[in-house]
Amino acid sequence: MSDTDGKKTLGLRGGGPRSGNVKQSFSHGRTKNVVVETKRKRVVVPKPGAGKSSGVGTAGSGDPSRRPAGISDAEMARRLKAVQAAKAREVEEAAERAANEKAREEERARRRAELEAKEREQREAEERAKAKAEEEERKRKESEDVAKRAAADAAAASAKPEAGKADAPRNVGANKPAGGQPQTPRKSDRERDERGRNNRGRDDGRRSGKLTLNQAMSGAEGGRHRSMAAMKRKQERARLKALGTVEREKVVRDVQLPEAIVVSELANRMAERVGEVVKSLMQMGMMVTQNQTIDADTAELIIEEFGHKVVRVSDSDVEHVIQQVEDDDDNLKPRPPVVTVMGHVDHGKTSILDAIRNARVVSGEAGGITQHIGAYQVKTDDGAVLTFLDTPGHAAFTSMRSRGAQVTDIVVLVVAADDAVMPQTIEAINHAKAAEVPMIIAINKCDKPDANPDKVRTDLLQHEVIVEKMSGDVQDVEVSAITGAGLDQLLEAIALQAELLELHANPDRAAQGAVIEAQLDVGRGPVATVLIQNGTLKQGDIFVVGEQYGKVRALINDKGDRVKEAGPSVPVEVLGLNGTPEAGDVLNVTETEAQAREIAEYRANAAKDKRAAAGAATTLEQLMQKAKDDETVSELPILVKADVQGSAEAIVQAMEKIGNDEVRVRVLHYGVGAITESDIGLAEASGAPVMGFNVRANASARNTANQKGVEIRYYSVIYDLVDDVKAAASGLLSAEIRETFIGYAQIKEVFKVSNVGKVAGCLVTEGVARRSAGVRLLRDNVVIHEGTLKTLKRFKDEVSEVQSGQECGMAFDNYDDIRPGDVIEIFEREEVTRTLA
């Protein structure tokens, strides 16, 4: 079938060969014509056999004879209509009724037709004369057909009146709409007829050819095959609809569009010719070569113009290669817990860690101190394996967490029994709570005569840590790092807690881990101690870790032995890095070194950008750090940019006053001047909105904000700003906008006009300038004046509005300090009804 479709056009010409016009169309090549002709015939061939099909060949000559004498045009049209209706009905019914059967039948018919076609081809080659006989036969068919149609007309709705009539419309131009294209709108029929008339000699053939092809597409036998075609069309439509594609002839591609793209690459991604793309760019007024880079917005226009779909990607998408696949439950195996020891200084953290290690580590290493790896594993008497992080202290814990590596499963909080709950103890409690990591209290130094474990327990109550002895659910164990008393119980308590946590990991996947510590070793190069969190790290694996990457050259376990691989919860020293990562950096195994390098480079650049953007990097990072770490109180982070230092400080002060025990506003950063891209970067990183007080975002910042989904809010009244933040802090912030910017105008020139003062010659660049609206004068994106217009002129006339793209003259009421390059912002205030909650 598709074969036939493909040669449709040729077929039209070939259609006439055996009619009188044949010879004209032969100029295109006899062979082809013959072939096509045959095919056309073939498709048309109805079941009855060659007789019918041979009739087709003579189609061209049929025109005058096709209509039975005595039937008027009107009558004819009426009949056709009736036939059409019947056919349409039938098409639908049939399609629904027996799609499969038809498919089979059609297949059979097709095969038959093919055979016949071949036969005919032979016959044709052999004897041309036969064509005449065929013609006669065809004529006979025609009359038959006409008779049938009349019958159909009479019994308009009767089923299958069209069967076997497929060839009739082919022969007869006027029948075409009825037979071949029942659904074609009349207009096109008329058009075609007209074309036919203009070009009659050949066109009879052509027209009939078209019809034939329609038939051909529908199948060999009239009604049945048209039904088939209708069904197919229907299916095709449904398919296209399902695909969301409207265009038939074109493949619509999803074009990945980064922030900037080289023209040739853009063409490549669209699978369009570079020349076409360049041409199209030129039509847009962009004179570029294929090697030039264009921005995403321009590229988007081009992509749309070519009918493709834009998929905006950002550089960070390189990270996607390491995006996690969720593990199937089936693949998950229990893993040892990872334990961090925390507590106030000198309460004995190091002593406890050492005591446990020395008691549990294989005797050969009795020295204990020789070990340099920042974590170790021990086995309890019951055989449970526990992983201890040998990096006590909150800094390690929080810095890791802030880097996205939550490695700790259980916190052992060490409190000295001869002391009490101290500031760092409280800090540790908060950290553990924030991280939602269960705690076990180790009451240390119980060997001391002045030890008072119960005081520790009561002290802890004040910080909402209720130990088991106080009928809470936090395990508490009395220990002594010096005597070793209670250490076994402590390990048991840990094992029990671990059991409750049901810790699992999938050892059979690419490894992911967290750097516990890293240093540059003189002899061995950069070395990182990594705690494997999921999967298994193997020698030879390629990985990215933070801003570094590498290939595992060697793995050394906590006992100093070289190992081939390390599974979940196993701490291991990794050699083979290209640089030294930082504690808390996450290690991911990638497939290729290129991927690893790409990700590492991307991260390095991003970090550099961020540092550059931050300006006062440390302060800002610290702020964000705290905002992230301190999760006991939920915080609303914001960025504030203001026109002058005074207002910035006033806002920050006001912000600090907002909040209660649950919510606090944290100003991550504040500054003076326009909102820049770096502000947006920071805001994005911490999910904060940017509050602009009498300042605006510059163009690039605006774009970035749009892209990254960072909210920018503009204010000109401190009270409004404070009010909004208050509302946001209590979760009530409405998306109401107090002001709408309706337009922007750029000052091109400044004129002095007597009696009026300074008048700005402006170009409205965006939206509309309205006489009645409020206006602000922006210089370098900072609001330097707000007021109203004294005049809005278009040429000499005072007007109420000037549209974007037009020039106008503007002057402010009571304000004269205007300069070329300044921007006038035109805004309208809206009534905001606030709901009181």
List interacting residues with ligand GDP (CB under 6 A).
343, 345-351, 392, 444-445, 447-448, 480-482
**Distance (Å) of CA 326 to CA 138, 331, 437, 534, 772:** 69, 10, 22, 11, 58
Beta strands in 115-233 (DSSP E): none
Please give the backbone phi and psi of residue 240, each rounded to the nearest 5 degrees, phi first: -60, -40
- Closest contact distance (angstroms) between CB of 686 and ligand GDP is 32
Euclidean distance between CA atoms 711 and 733, whole angstroms: 13
Strands ordered across the beta sheet of 634-642: 663-672, 634-642, 690-693, 712-715
482 contact choice in ligand GDP, Mg ion, none (CB below 5 to 8 Å, kind-dependent): ligand GDP
Looking at residue 2, its amino acid is S
Nearer to ligand GDP, 54 or 391 (CB): 391
CB 343 within 8 A of CB 424: yes
Nearer to Mg ion, 421 or 495 (CB): 421
Nearer to ligand GDP, 390 or 459 (CB): 390
Task: Give the CA count within 13 Å in the CB-facing half-sphere of 168.
Answer: 28
**Distance (Å) of CA 309 to CA 281, 283, 317, 357, 437:** 17, 20, 18, 60, 45
271 contact choice in ligand GDP, Mg ion, none (CB below 5 to 8 Å, kind-dependent): none
Nearer to Mg ion, 350 or 406 (CB): 350
398 contact choice in Mg ion, ligand GDP, none (CB below 5 to 8 Å, kind-dependent): none
11 contact choice in ligand GDP, Mg ion, none (CB below 5 to 8 Å, kind-dependent): none
345 contact choice in Mg ion, ligand GDP, none (CB below 5 to 8 Å, kind-dependent): ligand GDP
Length of the chain: 837
CB 274 within 8 A of CB 292: no
Nearer to Mg ion, 342 or 552 (CB): 342
215 contact choice in Mg ion, ligand GDP, none (CB below 5 to 8 Å, kind-dependent): none
> Footprint of Mg ion on this chain (CB under 5 A)?
350
Local structure of residue 389 (DSSP, 8 states): E
- Closest contact distance (angstroms) between CB of 395 and ligand GDP is 13
161 contact choice in Mg ion, ligand GDP, none (CB below 5 to 8 Å, kind-dependent): none
445 contact choice in ligand GDP, Mg ion, none (CB below 5 to 8 Å, kind-dependent): ligand GDP
- Closest contact distance (angstroms) between CB of 445 and ligand GDP is 4
Euclidean distance between CA atoms 547 and 318, whole angstroms: 13
Nearer to ligand GDP, 214 or 408 (CB): 408
497 contact choice in Mg ion, ligand GDP, none (CB below 5 to 8 Å, kind-dependent): none
Give the 3-state secondary structure of residue 617.
helix
- Closest contact distance (angstroms) between CB of 396 and ligand GDP is 13
481 contact choice in ligand GDP, Mg ion, none (CB below 5 to 8 Å, kind-dependent): ligand GDP
Nearer to Mg ion, 219 or 348 (CB): 348
Nearer to ligand GDP, 346 or 582 (CB): 346
- Closest contact distance (angstroms) between CB of 481 and ligand GDP is 3
Nearer to ligand GDP, 448 or 790 (CB): 448
- Closest contact distance (angstroms) between CB of 443 and ligand GDP is 10
Euclidean distance between CA atoms 341 and 443, whole angstroms: 12
- CB atoms under 10 Å from CB of 651, counted, come to 23
Give the residue closest to Mg ion by C-beta.
350
Nearer to Mg ion, 233 or 394 (CB): 394
**Distance (Å) of CA 658 to CA 622, 648, 655, 663, 729:** 21, 16, 5, 8, 8
152 contact choice in ligand GDP, Mg ion, none (CB below 5 to 8 Å, kind-dependent): none
List the Cα angle 283/289/295 in 5-degree steps: 75
- CB atoms under 10 Å from CB of 29, counted, come to 14
447 contact choice in Mg ion, ligand GDP, none (CB below 5 to 8 Å, kind-dependent): ligand GDP
Please give the backbone phi and psi of residue 515, each rounded to the nearest 5 degrees, phi first: -75, 125
Nearer to ligand GDP, 430 or 703 (CB): 430
CB 742 within 8 A of CB 736: no
- Angle subtended by helix axes 617-629 and 593-614, to nearest 10: 110
Nearer to ligand GDP, 358 or 765 (CB): 358
- Closest contact distance (angstroms) between CB of 416 and ligand GDP is 7
Euclidean distance between CA atoms 229 and 233, whole angstroms: 6
Q: Is 551 left (phi over 0), alpha (psi -120 to 50) or beta?
A: beta
- Closest contact distance (angstroms) between CB of 501 and ligand GDP is 25
- Closest contact distance (angstroms) between CB of 440 and ligand GDP is 16
Q: Is 835 left (phi over 0), alpha (psi -120 to 50) or beta?
A: beta
CB 284 within 8 A of CB 301: yes
- Closest contact distance (angstroms) between CB of 428 and ligand GDP is 11
- Closest contact distance (angstroms) between CB of 399 and ligand GDP is 18
- Closest contact distance (angstroms) between CB of 356 and ligand GDP is 12
- Closest contact distance (angstroms) between CB of 424 and Mg ion is 11
Give the 3-state secondary structure of residue 659.
strand
**Distance (Å) of CA 240 to CA 99, 229, 236, 245, 520:** 20, 16, 6, 5, 59
- Closest contact distance (angstroms) between CB of 350 and Mg ion is 3
58 contact choice in Mg ion, ligand GDP, none (CB below 5 to 8 Å, kind-dependent): none
489 contact choice in Mg ion, ligand GDP, none (CB below 5 to 8 Å, kind-dependent): none
**N- to C-terminal Cα separation, the chain:** 70
Nearer to Mg ion, 350 or 703 (CB): 350
Strand 410-416 and strand 439-444: pairing?
Answer: parallel
Nearer to Mg ion, 350 or 424 (CB): 350
CB 398 within 8 A of CB 329: no
Q: Is 43 left (phi over 0), alpha (psi -120 to 50) or beta?
A: alpha
- Closest contact distance (angstroms) between CB of 497 and ligand GDP is 21
- Closest contact distance (angstroms) between CB of 450 and ligand GDP is 10
- Closest contact distance (angstroms) between CB of 408 and Mg ion is 17
Give the residue closest to ligand GDP by C-beta.
348
Longest Cα–Cα distance in the chain: 130
Strand 542-545 and strand 565-566: pairing?
Answer: unpaired
39 contact choice in ligand GDP, Mg ion, none (CB below 5 to 8 Å, kind-dependent): none
C-alpha 821: how far from its chain's center?
Answer: 38
Nearer to Mg ion, 529 or 534 (CB): 529
Euclidean distance between CA atoms 709 and 200, whole angstroms: 64
Nearer to ligand GDP, 351 or 704 (CB): 351
766 contact choice in ligand GDP, Mg ion, none (CB below 5 to 8 Å, kind-dependent): none
Nearer to ligand GDP, 343 or 535 (CB): 343
List the Cα angle 434/440/444 in 5-degree steps: 120
